[in-house]
Chains A and B, each alone.
Chain A
Amino acid sequence: MQDNYQSSSYKELEQKSKYTNIFLRWFLYFVLILFASYFIFPLYVMVVTSLKTMEEIRQGTLLTWPSSLNFDSWLVAWGGRGYGAGDTFLRPYFWNSIKMVVPAVFFSTFIGAMTGYVLTKWRFRGDQWVFLFLLFGCFIPFQAILLPMARTLGTLGISNSVVGLVLVHTVYGIPFTTLFFRNYYISVPTELVKAARIDGAGFFKIFFKILLPISAPIIVVTVIWQFTQIWNDFLFGSTFSFGEAAPIQVALNNMVLSSTSVKEYNVDMASAIIAGIPTLIVYVLAGKYFIRGLTSGAVKG
């Protein structure tokens, strides 16, 4: 009898904890989905707005689904309306950004790989200080270098040009790329390098035959990081270029801020999506590497 009583109470207790567990589980999912909607909401609004006509925008709300899939504002955002002055559109600036990103990513990644290699495999006296010296460059607020940079680009005759922006982005990318490669190569056993040196392999041979073949993951991380940073940059782009040499983020901002005609929110949203799509694609395709770049002690520049 006694036993029976006890076991039934135990069962009750177990039942109760099961219910709280289910409740907690639901609560968990509720909160997670609530936040997911907060994060997805702007993207949804952007896409939906870009597909509506201005008439629909005025009549419906942010969330209303468009009556038809109308890509006109995308075409206007990308290629303009075909009239001359005052017709701003993103296409030429998109190519400016590509022309700026490709060489800047290449050079900064290459230099970072080389310095990372030296700092870990050809160590010399005081190399830690050299690393710290480079690392601090990750953190400086760029406002502290804008004035001299503007002056220098002017003296070199490359202000307001894609070449100037390539130089700027290459230089200020070096601290990050160095950090990435240094942290990666430090975990590669130095014995490998030592053995190769005894076999008579030189500096570059060791790099290209031993280090480079195993560097694929960190190259991907670095390239994605640099690509995202440079594509998304606005400060340098807006300070050192205007008019025709401007990169896409600057052009997007000018388009949205231009108050010449009636505000067309659908075109604004289409423009914003166009400016954001390359980095979004990279993020979706290579999210793992993107996150690795973010979390490996890196700082948003």
Chain B
Amino acid sequence: MAFFLIKKIFTMFKWLEKNLPKIVMAPAVGLIGWFVYGFVLWTLYISFTNSKILPKYELWGFGQYEKLWASRKWLISVDNLLVFTALFLIFCIVIGIILAIFLDQKIRAEGVLRTIYLYPMALSFIVTGTAWKWILNPTLGIQKMFIDWGFENFTFDWLVNREMAIYTIVIAGVWQSAGFVMALFLAGLRSVEDEIVKAAKIDGAGLFTVYWKILLPMMRPVFFTSFVILVHISIKSYDLIVALTQGGPGISTTMPALFMTQAAFHKSQVGLSAASAMMMFMAVAAVIIPYLYSELRRENAR
């Protein structure tokens, strides 16, 4: 009997030892499985119900999605998101590339400049939003500064202007993230071997040609990465809008992420908010899945 027990314990230990790596992995896989995949499916389910204040579980079909796309506020959110994403992408990438190329010219005090360009990434969007809200303040901010300098008719009221408020979010967003693109491109440029540039110069290529014809085309993966990350940031933009405009004036700067939390936690439209969350999820997935696929292929090819 005792022998039997010992043998049993022994085989148990053997089994444990053999499967230890998998056992160690289990919590992470379980947590992500439940809290990411399980929750996304849960949200998907809620989006098919007619939930108001609390989730209900009788299926209701696509009603929430129909309501969503008939909602003026949602359409404005999507419109704003498209405008914001386009401008945010263009400015971040253009500024990021310019700064990276210029910094790559054996600049004095490169370290200091780099630190300055990138420090906004260390701040939260709430801090950024608070600062820019003060700077863009129509009575005491930039407008007053220019008026005091003698430009008496200078007006800069974008923050409280329905048509222009969305651009203040672009200004603050670009301020926060352009340095990040710079860092990505600088790392990319530095990883190119010197011989390639030297050979091109011997062939008589000017600096402009070297960058435009040789180096930038080589940066295609960096473009791709920046694009994916910036689109991802912009679809998720929430904090910055809350801190800067709260979606206002009116609903002129509302965005999907803001729409989602407002519907869920202020307006008792849980089903509708789940539907909007699923739309955001699908938008991100449409960008991310091709990215992950190509990254994995690149890694496997290596």
**A interface residues, Cβ below 8 angstroms from B:** 28-29, 31-32, 35-36, 38-43, 45-46, 49, 57-58, 60-63, 111-112, 114-115, 117-119, 122, 124, 128, 130, 132-137, 139-149, 151, 171-172, 174-175, 178, 202-203, 228, 231-235, 238-239, 249, 252-253, 256-257, 265, 268-269, 271-273, 275-276, 279-280, 282-284, 287, 290-291, 294-295, 297, 299-300
Contacts and interface: CB of A to CB of B under 8 A. Distances in A.
Nearest to A291: B183
Interface of B: 17, 20-22, 24-25, 27-29, 31-33, 35-36, 38-40, 42-43, 46, 55, 95, 98-99, 102-103, 105, 107, 113, 115-128, 130-135, 137, 140-142, 144-145, 148-149, 175, 177, 179-180, 183-184, 187, 225, 228-229, 232-233, 235-236, 238-239, 242-243, 246, 256-257, 260-261, 264-265, 270, 273-274, 276-278, 280-281, 284, 288, 292, 295-296
Contacts of B132: 42
A60 B233 CA distance: 36
Given A45-B135, A253-B126, A140 B95 contact: no
Nearest to A282: B122
Contacts of A256: 130, 133, 243
Given A32-B113, A279-B124, A147 B277 contact: yes
Contacts of B184: 295
Contact of B265 (A114, A172, A239): A239
A124 B175 CA distance: 44
Nearest to A40: B116
Given A140-B284, A174-B32, A256-B243, A145 B46 contact: no
Nearest to B117: A39
Contact of B25 (A115, A136, A252, A269): A115
A146, A172, A283, most chain B CB atoms within 10 A: A146
Given A62-B135, A135-B292, A178-B28, 14 more contacts: A35-B117, A43-B131, A111-B28, A128-B296, A132-B292, A134-B28, A141-B281, A144-B278, A175-B36, A239-B265, A269-B131, A283-B119, A294-B183, A300-B229
A253 B242 contact: yes
A151 B40 CA distance: 13
A35 B123 contact: no
A142 B236 contact: yes
B123 A280 contact: yes
Contacts of B264: 146-147
A32 B102 contact: yes
B232 A299 contact: yes
6 contacts: A111-B28, A136-B288, A143-B257, A147-B270, A172-B36, A252-B127
Contacts of B20: 202-203
Nearest to A224: B122
B177 to A, nearest CB: 8
A264 to B, nearest CB: 11
